[in-house]
C-alpha cells in the first residue's frame, strides 16, 4: 500500500510530491497451517541439506511465518528416478504462514536446483 502527498505551488507552477510505502502484514488470526515435504538431491552432503532447510526456515520467518516442527527423514530410495536420481533426502516441515505469502515459498522451491520435488499441503488446524 502506498500513501502519497502532493504540494502545488501556484506561483512557480511546480508540483512536489512524495510517496510513502507502508508494509502491512496480516495478523496472527489470518495464518494457515501447512505441511511441506521436499526431496533434495542425493549429491548434497548432510551439511548442505541442513543449510538448504535453514534457508527455507529463514524465508518462512521473513514472510511473517514460523516453523513448528521439522522431520529429517534421511536419504531414501525413490519409487522412480527424478532427474536421473534414484535417491533423495526427505525433509518434512510443519509451519504456519499467511496465505498471501505462500507463493514466495513455492517460488523458492521451484527455483532451487537442489530440490528435486516438493509438495505443500494445507492443514485444517494446528496438530498437537
- Strands (E) in 10-84, as ranges, are 14-21, 32-40, 66-82
Structural domain of 102: 28-123
Cell of 67: 516453523
The vertex-111 CA angle with 53 and 102, nearest 5°, equals: 70
**Model confidence pTM above 0.75:** no
Cβ neighbours of residue 75 closer than 8 Å, sequence gap 6 or more: 42, 87, 88, 89, 90
In a domain, 92, yes or no: yes
> In this predicted structure, what is the pLDDT of residue 1?
46
How many domains does one find in the chain?
1
Say which CATH number the domain at 114 has: 3.30.70.60
What angle do the packed helices 102-111 and 46-62 form, to 10 degrees? 150
Asked if residue 23 belongs to a domain, the reply is: no
Q: Say how many C-beta atoms besides its own lie within 10 A of residue 49's C-beta.
A: 21
pLDDT tens digits along 46-55: 999 999 999 9
pLDDT-flagged residues of the chain (< 70) = 1-29, 126-128
Amino acid at each position: 500500500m502506498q500513501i502519497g502527498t502532493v504540494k502545488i505551488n501556484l506561483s512557480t507552477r511546480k508540483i512536489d510530491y512524495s510517496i510513502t510505502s507502508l508494509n502491512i502484514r496480516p495478523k496472527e488470526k489470518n495464518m494457515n497451517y501447512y505441511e511441506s515435504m521436499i526431496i533434495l538431491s542425493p549429491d548434497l552432503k548432510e551439511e548442505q541439506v541442513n543449510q538448504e532447510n535453514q534457508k527455507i526456515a529463514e524465508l518462512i520467518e521473513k514472510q511473517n511465518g514460523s516453523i513448528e516442527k521439522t522431520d529429517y527423514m534421511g536419504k531414501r530410495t525413490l519409487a522412480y528416478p527424478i532427474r536421473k536420481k534414484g535417491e533423495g533426502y526427505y525433509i518434512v516441515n510443519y509451519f504456519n504462514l499467511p496465505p498471501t505469502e505462500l507463493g514466495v515459498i513455492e517460488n523458492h522451491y521451484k527455483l532451487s536446483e537442489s530440490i528435486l520435488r516438493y509438495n505443500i499441503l494445507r492443514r485444517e488446524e494446528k496438530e498437537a
